[in-house]
Amino acid sequence: MKRPGPLLTLLAGLVLGLFLLTLNATTGTKTASSSYQEKSPSPAPARSAPSTAPTPTPTPSRVPAAAADYAGRTDDDAAAIAVSVRDGKAIAYYCDGHTEESWLKGDVEDDGTLRLTGENGAKLDGTLQDGRRIDGTVTVGGGRHAFAADRAKKPSGLWKATATVRSAKIDGGWIVLKDGSQVGILTRDGKPSPAPRIDPETGAVTVDGQQLTARPATP
């Protein structure tokens, strides 16, 4: 049998190659020599952490001044002074034991500052010192006096009595100091005079032959 010649073999190869190319184009099949690369999936977008607002630092709450009474003397020893504090309010009494006195009142700030006022321009500026005493100044009758009043324990503190005796209006104010001494003024229809001594345990006092009762004064 006669073998096919080289030309015939070459033609057969060309025909087979054309057939394979036509088949690939029709079916979309890639040959091993194709440079096709599968696309990698895109990474999911990273979620940013929710922003957290800074927590404000709480402001320490101020504690109102405790209920207490204070009594002392002015630095020049010209008069005594007493202060009573209750529920953010305060009253004070300035008394020289003879003819000059003044009642003052006002608020106590949360920081312990006192701004009290009275008649005829009287005023008191003071500061509570850790609940142990009050330091400040008091202005009465045009005179300005520095003072220190320590926390008082009964019977020390501020006392007051109001009554009518023999048709006269009686107003009395007393400051009982921690050493037991007393400073007070009694007014009869607006006329001041040194006050008689009270019983610091009961508040009993005799005025013009009539027994009255002085009571602790508070705001």
Q: What is the pLDDT averaged over residues 118-142? A: 95
Element (H, E) at 139: strand 133-140
- Give CA–CA dist 104/136, Å, rounded: 14
Tell me: pLDDT of 209 over 60.
yes
For residues 145 and 79, the answer to whether their CB atoms sit within 8 Å is yes
For residues 199 and 208, the answer to whether their CB atoms sit within 8 Å is no
47 or 200, greater pLDDT? 200
2 or 182, greater pLDDT? 182
- For 43-57, 60-74, 114-128, 205-219, which range has the lowest pLDDT when averaged over its residues? 43-57
CA trace torsion 111, 112, 118, 124 (10° rounding): -110
Mean pLDDT of the chain: 83
In 3D, which of 139, 94, 103, 105 has the Cα closest to residue 121?
139
For residues 114 and 130, the answer to whether their CB atoms sit within 8 Å is no
Q: What are the tens digits of pLDDT across the range 148-164?
A: 999 999 899 999 999 99
Bond into 155 cis (ω within 30): yes
High-pLDDT (> 70) share of the chain, %:
71
How far is the CA of 189 from the CAs of 102, 165, 214, in angstroms? Answer: 16, 10, 18
32 or 182, greater pLDDT? 182
- Give CA–CA dist 91/146, Å, rounded: 17
High-pLDDT (> 90) share of the chain, %:
65
Strand 143-151 with 68-74, pairing:
antiparallel
- Give CA–CA dist 105/116, Å, rounded: 5
- Give CA–CA dist 120/219, Å, rounded: 20
